[in-house]
Amino acid sequence: MSPARSKRQPVPHRRSRADIVSAVAVAAAIVIVTAILVWLLRPGPPGIPATGGLMNRQPRASWLIALGLGAAGVATWFILRGSPRTRKRAKVLLPVALGVVLVAVIVAGIAWPGGLLRHDVAPAPVPKTTTTTTRPGASTTIGGSGGGSGATTPTTGSPTSGPASTGTPTTQTITSTSR
């Protein structure tokens, strides 16, 4: 006769607290980095320089920082995933490697051809303009047999009464800065 089978159910695997904390930390880091990148990469209005996110306004500095972070990541990866000898000395090698990357980024920023930062100045807003055309010496008809409505009527040549007119129209531009 064979032994009786056990009726015990397998206990579901529970995650350790360290696994849960690391998963939450990684998820929060992904959300925060995504939000920062969206803020840094936001475009400005088309045709207007010096607007938008920092990476849009300062592309040279953004490239330098991104390349520096990439170099630091590669150095960290090689130290932590390299030979067992480098992993044992990681407490010394990591700060040295990251310090070398930081100094290299600073030197590259100082020696960047044409300067690292762009100094764009946002243009002043374009004022609203209205244009009216009048002629000097134009006569005004108020009522009378001409059926006028009180509007200014242009004349070409000399009017029968009033000052002499040259007959050439002039344009006057009125600029208003109020909104």
Q: Which residue has the tokens 């992993």?
A: 87
d(CA 49, CA 149) in angstroms, rounded, equals: 50
pLDDT (0 to 100) of residue 21 = 95
Does residue 31 register a pLDDT over 80?
A: yes
Q: Give the domain ranges of the chain.
A: 19-54, 58-119
Whole-angstrom CA distances from 37 to 32, 123, 136, 157 are 9, 26, 61, 68
- How much is the pTM? 0.50
Q: Where are the alpha helices (DSSP H) in the chain?
A: 17-40, 54-57, 59-81, 84-88, 90-111
pLDDT, average across residues 156-168: 53
Kindly indicate the confidence band of residue 74, based on its pLDDT and cuts at 50, 70 and 90: very high
pLDDT tens digits, 112-146: 887 777 666 666 777 787 777 777 766 655 555 54
- Cα dihedral angle (76, 77, 80, 85), rounded to 10 degrees? -100
pLDDT exceeds 80 at position 148: no
Give residue 88's Cα distance to chain centre.
Answer: 44
Strand partners, 133: 171
